[in-house]
Each structure stands twice: as structure tokens, then as C-alpha cells.
Structure 1
Amino acid sequence: MQLEEPTRTKGEEQAATQTAWHGTVPSALDVRVLGLVGVIAALAASLNIPFGGLAMAAGAFVVIAGGGVAVHVLGERKLRRITDGLVERWVDAGGQITDVTRSSDGLQTKWTVETPDGDIVIGGLALVPISRLSVEWQGVGDTMDASDAEENLDKLAAGLYKEIFAIGSAPQRT
């Protein structure tokens, strides 16, 4: 995984943008998911006020909010590792990637992988015990458990490469 983009001259930069992407997948901590965690923690804490007082409510809020933030951060990192692994394998196989940007929709964290043939959207729900990975290209998508995707990343990348880059760049019959 490449954490920083190497410094290049202008000629190298033009050649790199024409052949392959050599950057990083941006971080995608989602404020909406963190807000949902805060609301759930506040509700759980408010239920403790009649039974344990303000100290118990504050303790419950800190424990639940801290756990929720940790679960989201771990889920985001897992989806980001998978996205970075897929993009890296596609570039190594000869696929043209021009850019990777962060986007979000609802409570899903997403990255848009821009290619000459169209955008590939990779993402999912970034909560580690229930993380799901979704990959969408030209309106067709597939969803799987993020842990399974991470375990079988080479096979997943090869299968998606065939569908997206090999078939997408094949000449059309008339």
C-alpha cells in the first residue's frame, strides 16, 4: 500500500496520468455515521438517568460512543484496504485508473474509481462487525461480506478485472 505519492517532474506526471494512477485512496470517516453513533449513545445514556443518575448516564455515553467510533474507524479502514488492494491489483494488471475520490450516500462510505471506460463505485457500510463491500460498474453491482472480500482479494480483483477492464475495453461487434 503506497501512503504518499512520489514527487515527479512535469513530463513524468503527464506520462503517469496517461498510463496509470499512482496515488492513495482517501480516508473516508463519515460524519453521518459518527452522528448516528452519538445519537444512539445519547439515547442509551438517557435511559440510564432514572436508574443510575447522571454519573451512570455519562459513563454509558462515553462507553457506547467510544465503542461506536472505534467500530466505524475499523470498518472504514477495512473497506479502504480492500479498495486500495483492488485498485493496486488492477493497475498492476494493466488497467487504467485516472483517479480515486471519496463519496458517500446514506450511511454507506464509497470511493469512486475513475477509468476511461467509466466509474467504478466501491464501498459499503463501514461498521466492522457488519461491514459489507459493494462494487458497482455501469449500473450493475455486487455485494459481499467485507471479511470474505479481504480474504479472497486476489481472486476478487482478478474476476472484477475481467469483467470491467478486459470486457469493457473489448471491441464491440456490430
Structure 2
Amino acid sequence: MQLEQSSRETTAAWSGTVPSAIDVRVLGLIVVTAGLAASINVPYGGLPMAAVAFALLAGGGIALHVLGERKLRRLTDDLVERWVAAGGEIDDVTRSSTGTGTAWRVHTPDGDIVISGVALVPITRLSVEWQGIGDTMDASEAEENIDRLAESLYREIFEIGSATQQA
């Protein structure tokens, strides 16, 4: 399903790159949880067993976070590509400046669109916010329905949003 071409002439300045956005809070939570879980092994298997358990749990948790971040970044890229193809004017896509969140800002002339989420497979969630109004959904569901999602968000943000700001 293709998005309809906008009646306005627009030029996109977006370079086509969505930067990585690793969340240090999630990484901290993973390390603390892995440490607590591994500490249970100290009385039974000693420090070597606890170290192995910590390494396995922390490594697995970090891998799940990276996979979740990649999924959200891919969804962000897909949404922005579809919006540009439909005639939306995208200036740039930047990551959260603080590093304490998996979030991207899609800069448009009408205001920023914030795409963020919980980046931890299998509970990865996608959140899209524009002008204080947001929607959250399961990332797998968003991935399955990306065309419909991009089209509905395009209408809401670029067509209806632009018309209300011009009025």
C-alpha cells in the first residue's frame, strides 16, 4: 500500500540515517539485575560460578537490549522513509541527546515528532508523540502493519497538523 502523494511541493533534507540510541538506564538495570541474580550462586558455587552467571545474564540482557534498539531504529527509519516518499518534509532525525532513553526526534518544519520506546526484546514497545499527543503499541504489531501505521500517522501529522497550524 502506497501513501498518497501530498499536494504541496516539499523537499526533504533528511540524509537517510537514523542514529543509534542505546539507553544507559536499561543497561544499568540489566547489570544490577544480573549482579543480584548471580550473587545467589556465591553460597552454592562460589565466586567463579557467580562470575560466570553474571557474565551470562549481563551479556544476554545487553544483547536483548541491542536487539530491541535495532528493532525500534528500523521502525523509525521505515516510518520516516514512508513519510518522505509521501511528500512529508523531514529536516533531520537525531537521537535523544541525554542517552537516557531510546528515543529519536524527527525534525519537521511543523515541529518535532518523538519516536521512542522500550528497547528490550521480547517486550519492545513503540511510542510516537507529536505536539503532546502520543500513541504506544507493541513493536511487532507496528512492524506487521507498518504501511497502515505510516499512512495514518502521515495524515495526522503532515496533512491535518499542517492544515490546523496554517488556519
TM-score band, normalised by shorter chain:
0.7 to 0.9
* Paired residue type of 2:11: T
Structure 1 equivalent of residue 135 of structure 2: 142
AA of the residue aligned to 2:138: D
Q: 1:54 to 1:171 in 2, by over 3 A?
A: closer
Determine the structure 2 residue equivalent to 1:48.
41
SS in 2 for 1:27: coil
Q: Equivalent residue for 2:7?
A: none
SS at match of 1:129: coil
| Aligned CA distance change for structure 1 residues 45 and 171 (closer, same or farther; 3 Å) | closer
The answer to whether residue 63 in structure 2 is matched with residue 73 in structure 1 is no
Structure 2 unaligned residues grouped into runs of 5+: 1-9
State the partner residue of 1:30: 23
* 8 A contact 2:22–2:101 mirrored in 1: no
> Which residue identity is paired with 1:92?
A
**Greater relative contact order (Cα 8 A, min sep 6): structure 1 or 2?**
2
Which moves more between the two structures, 34-43 or 76-85? 34-43
Consecutive aligned runs of 4 or more in structure 1 exceeding 2 Å deviation: 104-108, 171-174
TM (normalized to structure 2)? 0.88
Give yes or no for contact 1:101–1:113 (8 Å, CA) kept in 2. Answer: yes
Structure 1 residue runs of 5 or longer lacking an equivalent are: 1-17
Residue 84 of structure 1 corresponds to 77
Does residue 96 in structure 1 map to residue 89 in structure 2?
A: yes
Task: Give CA deviations for 1:103-123 in whole Å, capped at 9, x if unaligned.
Answer: 178964110101001110001
Alpha-carbon distance change, 147 to 105 in structure 1, aligned in 2, over 3 angstroms: farther
Number of residue-to-residue matches in the alignment: 157
Secondary structure of the 1:112 match is strand
The match for 2:5 is none
SS at match of 1:169: helix
TM-score (norm: length of structure 1): 0.84
> In the TM superposition, what is the alpha-carbon distance from 1:97 to its structure 2 partner?
0.5
Root-mean-square deviation (Å) = 1.9
Identity of aligned residues (%): 73
1:19 aligns with 2:39: no
Q: Is the 8 A contact 1:125 1:133 kept in 2?
A: yes
Which is further off, 26-35 or 129-138? 26-35
